[in-house]
Structure 1
Amino acid sequence: MRDIHNVLDQRAVTTLFQPLAEISTGRVLGYEALSRGPADSPWEQPGALFAAAHEAGRESELDWICRARAYEGALTADLDPALTLFVNMEPSAAGTPCPLDLAPIIELARHRLRVVTEMTERAIAVDPSGLLSAMAAARAAGWGVALDDVGADPMSLALMPFLHPDVVKLDMGLLRAPGDPHTARVVAAVAAYAEASGAVVLAEGIETPEHLAIARTMGATVGQGWHFGRPAPLPVVAGVTATLPFIPPPRPEDRTPFAIVAACRPVTRATKAQLMPMSRHLEALALDGGEPPVLLACFQDARHFTSATARRFAVIAAHSPLVAALGTGLTDEPIPGVRGACLGDDDALRGEWNVIVVGPHRAAALVARDLGDTGPDRERRFEFALTHDRALVIEAARSLLGRLAPARSPELQPA
Structure 2
Amino acid sequence: MTVDQMLRSQVAHLLDAGAVRTHFQPIVDLYDDRVVAYEALSRGPDGPFAAPQPLFAAARAGGLLAEVDDLCRRNAVSAAVEAGMAGPLTLFVNVEPDVVDSERFDDFASLAERVPGRLRLVLEVTERALAARPAELLAAVGELRRKGWRIALDDVGADDLSLAFMPLLRPDVVKLDLRLVQQRPGPAAAHIMTATNAYTEQTGAVLLAEGIETARHLTIARALGARFGQGFLFGRAAPELTRKRRTGSLQLHVAAPPSPPASPFDCIPPEAAMRVSPKSLLVEISKHLEREAAALGPSAIIASTLQEARHFSEITRARYTELADKLGFVALIGEGLGSEPVAGVRGANLDPADPVRQEWDVVVLAPHFAGALLARDLGDTGPDASRRFRFALTYRRDAVVAAMHVLLDRVAPAPS
- TM-score normalized by the length of structure 2: 0.93
Structure number having the greater helix percentage:
2
- Give the Cα–Cα distance (whole angstroms) in 2 for the partners of residues 242 and 203 of structure 1: 17
**Residue in structure 2 matching 1:155, options 155, 161, 165:** 161
Amino acid at match of 1:266: A
| 1:23 equivalent in structure 2 | 30
Specify every segment of 5 or more residues in structure 1 that has no aligned partner in the other structure, as ranges.
410-415
Is residue 289 of structure 2 the alignment partner of residue 282 of structure 1? yes
- Give the Cα–Cα distance (whole angstroms) in 2 for the partners of residues 402 and 368 of structure 1: 19
| Deviation for aligned residue 1:316 | 1.0
Distance 1:295 1:101, change over 3 A: closer
- Give the Cα–Cα distance (whole angstroms) in 2 for the partners of residues 292 and 256 of structure 1: 24
| 2:115 equivalent in structure 1 | 109
| 1:171 equivalent in structure 2 | 177
| 1:73 equivalent in structure 2 | 79
Is residue 63 of structure 2 the alignment partner of residue 57 of structure 1? yes
| 2:261 equivalent in structure 1 | 254
Cα pair 1:367 1:384 within 8 Å, conserved: yes
Cα pair 1:262 1:385 within 8 Å, conserved: no
Cα pair 1:61 1:93 within 8 Å, conserved: no
Matched residue SS, 1:145: strand
Cα pair 2:86 2:118 within 8 Å, conserved: no
| Deviation for aligned residue 1:348 | 0.7
**Residue in structure 2 matching 1:32, options 39, 42, 49:** 39
| 1:355 equivalent in structure 2 | 362
| 1:83 equivalent in structure 2 | 89
What's the CA shift string for 1:235-291, capped at 9, x where partnerless?
A: 275974433324111111133111111534110111111222111000111211444
Cα pair 2:335 2:352 within 8 Å, conserved: yes
What's the CA shift string for 1:84-130, capped at 9, x where partnerless?
A: 00000124323222299989978743885310000011111100011
Amino acid at match of 1:335: V
- Give the Cα–Cα distance (whole angstroms) in 1 for the partners of residues 44 and 265 of structure 2: 50
- Give the Cα–Cα distance (whole angstroms) in 2 for the partners of residues 27 and 151 of structure 1: 26
| 2:12 equivalent in structure 1 | 5
Map of 1:289-308 to 2, 5 A cutoff?
Answer: 289-308=296-315
| 1:199 equivalent in structure 2 | 205
Cα pair 1:260 1:395 within 8 Å, conserved: yes
Cα pair 2:70 2:104 within 8 Å, conserved: yes
- Give the Cα–Cα distance (whole angstroms) in 2 for the partners of residues 196 and 284 of structure 1: 27
- Give the Cα–Cα distance (whole angstroms) in 2 for the partners of residues 28 and 178 of structure 1: 27
Runs of 4+ in 1 over 6 A off after TM superposition: 99-107
- Give the Cα–Cα distance (whole angstroms) in 2 for the partners of residues 149 and 273 of structure 1: 43
- Give the Cα–Cα distance (whole angstroms) in 2 for the partners of residues 400 and 110 of structure 1: 38
- Give the Cα–Cα distance (whole angstroms) in 2 for the partners of residues 162 and 104 of structure 1: 23
| 1:131 equivalent in structure 2 | 137
Alignment length, in residue pairs?
408
Cα pair 1:19 1:30 within 8 Å, conserved: yes
| Deviation for aligned residue 1:179 | 2.1
Distance 1:260 1:104, change over 3 A: closer
Is residue 390 of structure 2 the alignment partner of residue 383 of structure 1? yes
| 1:212 equivalent in structure 2 | 218
Which has the higher mean CA deviation after the structures are superposed, 100-109 or 51-60?
100-109
**Residue in structure 2 matching 1:324, options 331, 337, 340:** 331
- TM-score normalized by the length of structure 1: 0.93
- Give the Cα–Cα distance (whole angstroms) in 1 for the partners of residues 86 and 292 of structure 2: 48
Cα pair 2:302 2:331 within 8 Å, conserved: yes
Q: CA RMSD in A?
A: 2.2
What's the CA shift string for 1:186-223, capped at 9, x where partnerless?
A: 11100100100110000000011111010011000001
